Structure formats: structure tokens, C-alpha cells
A and B are shown apart, each in its own frame.
Chain A
């Protein structure tokens, strides 16, 4: 029951993009086409899940026993940056097709604040290993959901007569606002 609770909260109610404002840059930047948004979403799921797991272990088995919790920002960002590099190298060697599909999105993820944000937030929630893993996956799925929805809307939007001053970022932001309004409806799912 607890696991289901975590999934619904992280995926829908507190959606990482639309209610916590993490990862806005890729959300606005890579949501012009449905196909690229799915690629980006897959890469984000991969990296957030892995990064969340690694930072969780690092915090609980290294930083916390040594009482150097204040080092978390520096260590986490370095771990995430090197993790993305390692993932890229390993993927290139092990699975070229997957690398072809995700390759171009991977370097962009280092500066995606959703990755670091999720790692920091999940530490403050005092989850155990399994709950932490589920939380990471749900956050990443929530990001992908928002990104794919947005890309679907923006593909249609191109065909419409948007006023000149609203083209590009402004209309995307207003669309995101309406999506966020819709997602507020999910708040009733959890007591």
C-alpha cells in the first residue's frame, strides 16, 4: 500500500515538472516533436533511476557515517556528472542501437535539475532502499509523462495561428500552466 502511495504521489500529484518545477529547461527545450520527447524521456528514466540509487547509497553508507552531510551538493553533482559519462561509454560498447537512440540526449541530462533535485529530495524523505528506488522511477516516469503530453500538444499547436508575440516559449509556458492546472485535479486521489 505504501509503495502505491509513493507512486501516485510522485507520478501524478506532485509531478516533478508541473508542480515541483524541476527540469523545466528540457521540458521546454525538447518538447517540439513527439519522437524526440520519447527518446529524452527514456534517457531521463534511465539516468534518474540509476543516479537516485547511487546517491542514496553514497549518502547512507559514506557521507552519513562520516558526518560530512554538508558535502552532499558537491559529491552528488560530481557523481551524477560522472555517472552520465559512464552510462554513455558503457552504452556505446554494450548496446549500440540503444546508444544511437539515447546518445544525443545523455550529455544534456547532467544539467537537468530534476536529476540532482530528485536525489536531494529523496534523501530528506527517509525512504528505505526499495521505496527510494520506486520513488526515483516514479519521478522519472512523471517527467516523461509531462514531456510526452506537452510534445503532443505542441505538435498540434504549430498548425494553429498563434499570435506572433506568443510564438515559441510564451505559448509553451501558458500551455504548461494549463497542463499544470489539469494535474492539480489529481490532488484528490491521495488523502
Chain B
């Protein structure tokens, strides 16, 4: 088994958001600023690799019939940990991300990796798969968030790029901007894919 390949496949070839189109809800909702995107990305990455590791350790103990509820309980446990840690140490970020932290439970990426990868592979491969997929997801939402923050707010990582009184394209940090930005990134991805083939 090629461990390096398991790690890097989540970046581009099987990018969970841009290629598999999983986890669209948080990637539209929390991408109003690059800081939020990084926070959300790392929270998801943590849940992904931790649940992947635990599920691959327990894969022989969990009866096949009740595996989905068992996976959901494992995932929900790690989400609760992230939720409490963030609330304690990053209260501002916690407020900005709001309901989307507990909603990592129903993020299709996490359950999808548990079902498709962790229950069939060993611990190290599952860990690398979770980490790679998480970082791929973080990268994708960071791209969306960067475009939205620069165009909509005239700043990047909260550093102002334009002068204070310059008017920005406000629509990009509002809900319609999320849909339109993500839509055009997908257009670009499709164009690249057809060029490569």
C-alpha cells in the first residue's frame, strides 16, 4: 500500500469539496472570511482523522448491521470535543462559526470516509486518509473564502487591502455571493478537467 498516495489523493484528485462535491453546507456558510475558513477546516480535519483512526481500530468489533449508528456516535463524540475546546479557547471563532460546528456530525465527508475507507483499512492508512481529506477540504474552502473576503470586504486574514473609505463588492460576503463564487469555481474545475482529458 502506498501511504504517500493515501495522504495526497485528498488534495486534488479526490478533493472532497471540488471533485466529490461533499460538505457543501459549511463551505458556503462559513466562507465569509479566511480566518473562519481555516477554523472550520481544522475543526473538520481533526474530527476526520480522529474518527477515522478510532473506527479503523474498532472495525472488527462493530457488528455490520449497526455500523452507521456506531459511526455517528463516534463522530458526534469528537465533534462535541471540538465544540467544547473551541468554546473555551477561541470564543470569537466559535461565535462566528455558530451552528456549523455541531453540524460537522452530518457533514457527508466524515461519514463518507468512515464508510468508504476507515472500516476497510489499517490505522496508519486511515489516519493519513483522514488528514489528507481534511487538508484538501480546508484548502478548498480557503480558496472560496479568500475570493469572497478580498472582493467583498477588501481584506485578507483581517488585514485591510484597500483604503478605509473604498467601496467593496458587498454582495460577495452576503449569501448570494457564496453560491455564485462556488458555482464559478466549479465551472473552472470542469474546464480544467476537460482540458486534461
Contacts and interface: CB of A to CB of B under 8 A. Distances in A.
B25 interface: yes
Which one of A22, A72, A170 has the greatest number of beta carbons of chain B within 10 Å?
A170
B186 A173 contact: yes
B132 to A, nearest CB: 22
Interface string B161-182: 0000000000100111111101
Interface stretch (B2-10, B37-45, B103-111, B133-141): B103-111
A43 B72 CA distance: 22
Interface stretch (B48-56, B75-83, B122-130, B146-154): B75-83
Nearest to A181: B176
Contact of A184 (B80, B102, B175, B186): B175
B175 A21 contact: yes
A89 to B, nearest CB: 16
Interface stretch (A56-64, A114-122, A137-145): A114-122
**Is chain A's binding surface mostly helix, strand, loop or mixed?**
helix
Contacts of B182: 173
B26 to A, nearest CB: 8
Contacts of B91: none
A117 B103 contact: yes
B24 A117 contact: no
B72 A78 contact: yes
Contacts, number: 108
Contacts of A176: 179, 183
Given A111-B106, A116-B106, A120-B102, A166 B29 contact: no
Given A166-B187, A173-B182, A116 B102 contact: yes
A184 B176 contact: yes
Contact of A73 (B26, B80, B171): B80
B93 interface: no
Interface stretch (A3-11, A23-31, A98-106): A23-31
A4 B99 CA distance: 25
Interface of B: 21, 24-26, 28-29, 69, 72-73, 76-77, 79-80, 83-84, 99, 102-103, 105-108, 111, 171, 174-180, 182-184, 186-187, 190-191, 194
Interface of A: 18-25, 28, 70-74, 77-78, 81, 111-113, 116-117, 120-121, 164-167, 169-174, 176-178, 180-181, 184
27 contacts: A18-B175, A21-B25, A21-B29, A21-B175, A21-B178, A23-B25, A24-B24, A28-B24, A73-B102, A74-B76, A78-B69, A81-B72, A111-B106, A120-B99, A120-B103, A164-B190, A170-B187, A171-B183, A173-B183, A174-B179, A174-B184, A176-B183, A177-B176, A177-B178, A180-B175, A181-B171, A184-B174
